Amino acid sequence: MFVKALRVGLGQLIIFIDFITRPGKKQRPAAAQAQVETAAKDLTLYQFHACPFCVKTRRTLRRLNVPVTLRDAKNNEQDRQTLLEQGGKIKVPCLRIEENGQTTWMYESKVIIDYLDKRFAAA
C-alpha cells in the first residue's frame, strides 16, 4: 500500500515538473508544419501518463512540434491489448510507425527520440 502511494506521488511530481519546465514548440512556416502534421498521422505513441521515459518522449514531441496520437496503455484496456497483441509486449514508451503498408513497433525512449530528431528536427 505504501509503495503504491509512493509511486503515485512520484508520478504526480514528475507530471508537475514536466508541466512547469515544458519546452517551447518548434516554430515552422505553415507549409512545413503541414508536412510534419501529415507525416505524424502515421505515428502513435503508446504510453503511461506518469512514466518518466514517456514524459521524456512526449517532451521531445512537443519540442519538435509533432502532433502524435497518444494511447494510454495503462488505463485503456483496448490500447493495452493492442500493444500486447500487435507490438508483442506491454512496454512503454512504444511508437507505432505506419510506413509504406508496414507497421513498425519501436520501443525504448532513446531510440524513439533519436528517430523523431532525425525525422522531424530539420523539417
Residue 26 lies in a domain: no
Residues spanned by the domain of 101: 32-120
Q: Cα(51)–Cα(4) distance, rounded to whole angstroms?
A: 14
pTM: 0.89
Residue 96 lies in a domain: yes
Q: Identify the weakest region by mean pLDDT among 17-21, 33-37, 116-120.
A: 17-21
pLDDT at 7 over 90: no
Residue 27 lies in a domain: no
Residue 49 lies in a domain: yes
Q: Identify the weakest region by mean pLDDT among 27-31, 33-37, 82-86, 119-123.
A: 119-123
Residue 20 lies in a domain: no
Domain count, the chain: 1
Residue 106 lies in a domain: yes
Residue 78 lies in a domain: yes
Q: Cα(119)–Cα(123) distance, rounded to whole angstroms?
A: 8
Res 14: pLDDT: 86
